[in-house]
Structure 1
Amino acid sequence: MSSAAIAVLGLGEAGSRISADLVAAGATVRGFDPLVSPPPGVFAASSDADACRNAGLVISVNSAHDAVDALTQSLGAVTPETIWADFNTSAPALKQELARVAGDTVQVVDVAVMAPVPPTGLRTPLTVSGPAAEAAAGLLRQFGAQVQVIDGPVGQAATRKLLRSVYYKGLAAAVVEALEAARAAGLEEWLAGNIRDELEKSTAATLDRLVSGSETHAVRRREEMAASAELLDSLGVPPRIATASRDWLADLAARRGRT
């Protein structure tokens, strides 16, 4: 399979960088994107199906919205030996729908991209799940990819990525909202330094303190976040994260029988 062509469907920021890195690593790559020309060294295809002909591996990185259509339009151009690697960020249900649509026509694997692609391209950490995960990982590793195989069906890699996203993207949202409010209050530099200090002091025990502290002090922290939301309102900053935190703490207190 290593000598077979690789198809890349979607040549946006991620797809262009991945396809260029594959070419640099010695792969024969055919790419298709209706809006973007392929980078140097990538052969331009006229459609998704055209890109997939004679491909041993298909990397679908167009969008979650287009993922099923791209697969459906390409079923006549692939074989049961072809691996269809869906790199799109989507819910596990969509990954499972791809596997259902594919049936025995092509081997679908669920790939989760675990960090932004532009800095490291093909070497961005990947996790992959599905019956053909080991085969997909082996092929990608030949070209320098860092791949972790997750035991289980298609959708397991997406589940892990999205669970992590709740934490990491939620943290980012909280930080950005807090800094916006601090800027409005003339305290951005102070708060930025405070956040940096807290992040630097974080240890493995920080997780336990976050969980246990929320459970023990849910009522007090609910009131604290209610006051925080009022402050942001007064500063003209929509308190989306502060309000969500207040409501979550209220639910937590109710579940613990506290008021």
Structure 2
Amino acid sequence: MNIERIGLIGYGEVGKIFSAGLRGQPGVVATAAWDLKLANPATQAAERAHAQAAGVAAQPSMQALCDASDLVISAVTASNTLAVAQEAAQTIRPGALFLDLNSASPGTKQQCAALIEAAGAHYVEAGVMTSVPPYGIRVPMLLGGAKAAELALLLTGWGMDARAVSERLGVASAIKMCRSVMIKGLEALVIESYTMARAYGVEDQVLPTLQETFPSIDWSAQGAYFFSRVVQHGQRRAEEMREAANTVREAGFEPLMAAAIAARQQWVADQARAGVFAEVGKGARWQDYADCLLAARPKP
């Protein structure tokens, strides 16, 4: 497998990390990115400056990115997964690889694969198994598809933690989505439980009982981390959980929990958008986030 030019669709947190981290890997001569923010007058100057400083070529369109890439990596929000594959399929080069990092249901990934492979390219799904920033390009990933094993071999040669789990599309995404129900569910539960404990003034009684039941977890530190990540990325998480709900439906069940988790994640995202957490700084305690939510409650 010969990959010389890599293109990232999506130049957000993950796109920035991957495009910079893959630059200069053995055999890679160029990395490029395309994002709607690169064409938006309100954001393009800052985004293009970031790309230039990182040594990443900012492409003027998705077509330009696909034309110039042997490996196209889709790193967008869950709700845009299928739309990106639809657009990329129109211009991706036959024989190119399309690696889909997005958190989407098995059914969505299978639809994407049909589009990409009808264009003569090769589709590989990825289940990214934890938050990217602490790991960078070494974040654990599960790959699926006919080219999954071959691509995993290449990526591990670049120091990445990629493992092929199945030639059948949907398996890697199913693993990811099942895990997401648990992890994003814990985030939603902690935010709701801790905020209510703060409202009733009983956090000093509640958290020690959690510590006693699950002594390996620092519940105060974990709470602060969960709050901070959801405040920063609640919109993305809500979209992922709506895909998790689709995964549950595709299995023939009603997504009671997944839908509720999506709603709580969306609620936090809406609060953040409204400026509720504007005064919360880096390294804040969970109590600081909870107090902001309590202060923003509708008055009786």
Q: TM-score, normalised by structure 2?
A: 0.62
SS of 1:153's equivalent? coil
Judge conservation of contact 2:10–2:75 (CA < 8 Å) in 1.
Answer: yes
- Paired residue for 1:127? 142
Q: Distance in 2 between matches of 1:78 and 1:201?
A: 48
**Do residues 177 (structure 1) and 192 (structure 2) align?**
yes
Question: What is the aligned partner in structure 1 of residue 131 from structure 2?
Answer: 116
CA contact (8 A) 1:57 1:85 kept: yes
Partner of residue 32 from structure 1, selected from 31, 34, 41: 34
SS at the partner of 1:90?
coil
* Aligned counterparts of 1:90 and 1:12: Cα–Cα separation in 2: 17
Provide the C-alpha distance between the structure 2 equivalents of 1:82 and 1:197, rounded to a whole number of angstroms.
Answer: 53
What's the CA shift string for 1:13-67, capped at 9, x where partnerless?
A: 1111111111154532111112143351111111112112242211100223333
CA offsets 1:147-175 (integer angstroms, 9 cap, x no match): 12111422111111111111222223222
Q: State which drifts further: 27-36 or 61-70.
A: 61-70
Residue 163 of structure 1, aligned match among 173, 178, 191? 178
Cα distance in 1 between the residues matched to 2:86 and 2:182: 34
The 5-angstrom pairing of residues 84-233 of structure 1 reads 84-104=98-118, 105-200=120-215
Is 1:78–2:80 an aligned residue pair?
no
Structure 1 residues 5-16: aligned runs within 5 Å: 5-16=5-16
* Contact 1:48–1:70 (CA under 8 A) maintained in structure 2: no
Q: What does the per-residue CA deviation read over 1:61-80, in whole Å, with 9 as the maximum and x for residues that have no partner?
A: 02233333333333354334
Partner of 1:50: 64
Shift of 1:103: 2.9
User: Which of 56, 60, 73 matches 1:59?
Assistant: 73
Q: Does the aligned pair in 1 maintain the 2:81–2:104 contact within 8 Å?
A: no
Runs of 4+ in 1 over 4 A off after TM superposition: none
Taking structure 1 as the reference length, what is the TM-score of the superposition? Answer: 0.72
Higher alpha-carbon deviation: 3-12 or 176-185: 176-185
Judge conservation of contact 1:25–1:144 (CA < 8 Å) in 2. Answer: no
Gaps of 5+ in 2: 38-46, 218-255, 261-300
Q: Could you tell me how far apart the structure 1 residues matched to 2:216 and 2:87 are? A: 51
Q: Deviations over 1:69-99 (max 9, x none)?
A: 3333333543342110111111111100011
Q: Does the 8 Å contact 2:166/2:172 carry over to 1?
A: no
Root mean square deviation of aligned Cα: 2.3
Larger radius of gyration: 1
SS of the residue 1:55 aligns to = coil
Alignment coverage as a number of residue pairs: 205
> Are the counterparts in 2 of residues 4 and 54 from structure 1 also a CA contact under 8 Å?
no
Contact 1:108/1:154 (CA < 8 Å) preserved in 2?
A: no
